[in-house]
Amino acid sequence: MDIEALFGLSGKVVLITGASSGIGLHIAKVYAQAGAKVVLAARRRDRIDKAVAELRLQGHPALGVYLDVTESASIAAAFQEAESHFGAGIDVLYNNSGIIYQKPFLEQEESEIARVFDTNLKGAMLVAQEAARRMAMRGSGVIINIASTAGLRAGGMLSSYGASKAALIQMTEVMALELASKGIRVNAICPGNIETDMQESLKAFEQALIRRTPMKRFGRPEDLDGVSLLLASEAGRYMTGVSIPVDGGQVLAWM
């Protein structure tokens, strides 16, 4: 058995949303090292351009595209630019864009609720639809939705975020059911507390959260490498409709 080929992504075109920082940027680099042609998609064009330049210096095929996940026209344009540049369709979508407001339920403002759902659910759905339509025409593809353990268990001051991620997990299962016949696998990764810019709002609660985590630490972006490669590669070819927590056992502690 060729383990490198089993988990590798040689020749695959992968589009990562929210790729200007955090998990998205990290996984773009991981997939590039696994042999993929990577498309970094985000609104912060200066950041993705810098990351693309670094990847190209290392000899990796990479492209940066502007993408606003809440705008259908922006999504279609990003996919078209990626396909035109690499001369091939997107094989793997890493559907990663997301935002968070950490506030008590009664203090969540309408504009904040709308923005969270627009990005975390509507945006993820629009991007997945665009990818799936194109993948269906070729009869193959992989979609990985980045959800959260907050979508599996209730967490204080995460009402809109948790609800949006719970809905994303449900959407993953529906997509897996409907798209399996078209050769498309759909799964979700549910990170726990991962050390990224998004987690800055949790600093005041860091020690309390660590005490509730059996492995007694926050996760790091590299803790997602294995599952991200598994789901994107041939190693996960018989997996669809699953949501995998990567959380140091945190969900177990909530039971």
- The pLDDT of residue 253: 83
Mean per-residue pLDDT pooled into runs of 10, the chain (255 residues): 92 97 97 98 96 98 98 98 98 97 95 98 98 98 98 92 98 98 98 82 72 91 98 98 96 79
Just list the catalytic residues.
Answer: 161
Phi/psi region, residue 202 (left: phi>0; alpha: psi -120 to 50; beta: rest), is alpha
Token code pair at residue 136: 């269906």
- The pLDDT of residue 152: 96
| Count of C-beta atoms within a 10 Å radius of residue 87 | 8
- The pLDDT of residue 44: 95
- The pLDDT of residue 202: 61
pTM of the model: 0.96
Q: What are the structural domains, with CATH classification, of the chain?
A: 3-249 (3.40.50.720)
> Please, what is the Cα angle at 133 between 36 and 13, to 5 degrees?
5
- The pLDDT of residue 43: 96
